[in-house]
């Protein structure tokens, strides 16, 4: 506003203008104070929050002197127990004097393997169905196609399994996958044909995922987590629900509690393990265990903010609880109950402290809210102290998201969730990913008799 414009105003107009400016100044002052307070807080890092390690800034450090390694026995690749062939080589002349030793007694002095792969090229079976005219009724006839060689797609089960493995497990984009098949196998196949292979496999993987869901719903515990995934032009969420021998993935356009209802229906397990996200809390019929790894990082951030009264002691207690969890297989049930009572007693003593920093006051409110969910795992052996198992199950999907930038269509996204269900379930049942794909395409359910992996 110019000086001339101000001089043209009367006293009352000037007063109103000043009051309006005072109001604006007060709001801006409060905003500046808020921003300065935010700038004064410590940065979020992978060590004090859920920021992924890839986004952490690690400062350069001088190269440390490498410690002298301890002397230990050497190791080498062991011989293959079932070699394709064995070649016995006998000496013909002495390496010292040149004497003919072909007739002398010889014994095995050294054995080693030479490993290579045979030339890779497509195995093409040309099927020619013969026919003719029936000599009795004169009607045309044609031979029936052999089992497994029916007309239709020219690609066999091993090739289809390889395409699904390279695309959905290794995350190779379609154009690069087309070139890889051409360069490695001499196989010319279009991107459209690759897409058709994926589409044709949807029914088999959907059936396998349904069987995995039935197995999951027959258990007493579920751990869950979620991560973002781009589908078309929208942000979706990839959820995982798992127990020690099964994992079920679901891609949904929302992140609310409705996802649990949509995936699990009316079923709820006795125990649930997750982070503190509200959509996953209070879902169990019995009790809920929160992820202590997430909580330890959050408490570290409060320590970085300045709380020196409550947060350090509480972090130490959580680490002590995790240590008990690692020793749990070797401890008796009575011992675990004693440890649980001791953890509760120590927490009582910590809660008697009176923090003065806002970070400490915030932590005290949080502990009161989630206290009953902190140490459930100590006496419930089916639960873990952390939800690292769910995070490990989602990690390949996070890598896949970075490589491919998500999915263009809804069917591809849903198919990927079914494939991840099969692959992660197979891993937990000690079945290889490629073998699990072949079993699924063949209509065979994944065996559950294999030793189950732990929930991680």
| Segments making up each domain of the chain, as ranges | 157-200, 202-287+387-441, 292-378
What does the chain come to in residues? 456
> Is residue 73 very low, low, confident or very high in pLDDT (cuts 50, 70, 90)?
confident
Helix (H, G, I), strand (E, B) or coil at 93: strand
392-430 per-position pLDDT tens digit? 999 999 999 999 998 999 999 999 999 999 999 999 999
Average pLDDT over residues 276-283: 90
d(CA 400, CA 35): 37
Q: What confidence score (pLDDT) does residue 76 get?
A: 79
d(CA 79, CA 68): 31
Pseudo-torsion of CA 33, 37, 40, 43, nearest 10°? -130
- Give the largest Cα separation in the chain, rounded: 128
d(CA 302, CA 407): 38
Q: What is the fold of 202-287+387-441?
A: Nucleotidyltransferase; domain 5 (3.30.420)
Phi/psi at 265 (5° precision): 70, -135
Beta strand residue intervals within 211-317, DSSP E: 221-231, 234-243, 246-252, 271-274, 287-290
d(CA 11, CA 256): 57
d(CA 288, CA 198): 38
As a whole number, the mean pLDDT across the chain is 89
Percent of the chain with pLDDT over 70: 94
Q: What confidence score (pLDDT) does residue 70 get?
A: 76
> Is residue 59 very low, low, confident or very high in pLDDT (cuts 50, 70, 90)?
low
């Amino acid at each position: 506003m110019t000086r001339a414009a101000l001089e043209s105003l009367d006293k009352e107009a000037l007063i109103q203008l000043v009051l309006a400016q005072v109001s604006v100044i007060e709001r801006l002052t409060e905003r500046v104070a808020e921003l300065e307070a935010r700038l004064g807080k410590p940065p979020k890092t992978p060590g004090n929050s859920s920021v992924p390690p890839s986004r952490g800034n690690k400062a350069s450090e001088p190269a440390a002197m490498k410690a002298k390694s301890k002397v230990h026995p050497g190791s080498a690749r062991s011989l293959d127990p079932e070699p394709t062939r064995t070649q016995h080589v006998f000496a013909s002349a002495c390496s010292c004097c040149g004497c003919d030793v072909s007739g002398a007694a010889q014994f095995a002095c050294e054995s080693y393997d030479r490993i290579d792969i045979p030339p890779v090229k497509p195995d093409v079976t040309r099927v020619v169905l013969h026919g003719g005219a029936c000599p009795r009724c004169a009607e045309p006839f044609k031979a029936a196609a052999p089992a497994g060689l029916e007309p239709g797609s020219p690609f066999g089960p091993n090739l289809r399994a390889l395409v699904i493995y390279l695309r959905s497990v290794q995350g190779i984009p379609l154009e690069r996958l087309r070139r890889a098949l051409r360069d490695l196998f001499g196989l010319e196949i279009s991107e459209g044909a690759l897409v058709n292979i994926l589409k044709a496999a949807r029914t088999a993987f959907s059936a396998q995922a349904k069987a995995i869901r039935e197995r999951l719903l027959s258990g007493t515990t579920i751990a869950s987590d979620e991560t973002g995934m781009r589908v078309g032009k929208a942000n979706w969420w990839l959820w995982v629900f798992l127990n020690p021998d099964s994992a079920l993935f679901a891609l949904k356009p929302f992140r609310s509690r409705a996802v649990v209802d949509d995936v699990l229906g009316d079923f709820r397990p006795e125990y649930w393990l997750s982070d503190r996200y509200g959509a996953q809390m209070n879902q169990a019929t019995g009790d809920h265990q929160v992820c202590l790894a997430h909580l330890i990082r959050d408490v570290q951030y409060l320590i970085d903010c300045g709380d020196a009264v409550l947060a350090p002691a509480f972090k130490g207690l959580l680490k002590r609880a995790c240590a008990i969890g690692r020793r749990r297989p070797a401890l008796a049930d009575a011992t675990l109950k004693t440890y649980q009572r001791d953890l509760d007693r120590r927490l009582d003593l910590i809660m008697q402290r009176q923090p003065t920093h806002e970070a400490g006051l915030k932590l005290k409110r949080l502990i009161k809210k989630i206290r009953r969910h902190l140490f459930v795992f100590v006496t419930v052996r089916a639960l873990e102290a952390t939800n690292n198992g769910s995070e490990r199950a989602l990690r390949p999907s996070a890598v896949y998201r970075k490589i491919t930038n998500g999915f263009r269509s809804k069917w591809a996204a849903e198919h990927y969730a079914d494939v991840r269900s099969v692959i992660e379930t197979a891993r937990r049942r000690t079945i290889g990913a490629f073998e699990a794909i072949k079993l699924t395409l063949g209509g065979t359910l994944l065996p559950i008799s294999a030793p189950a992996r732990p929930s991680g």
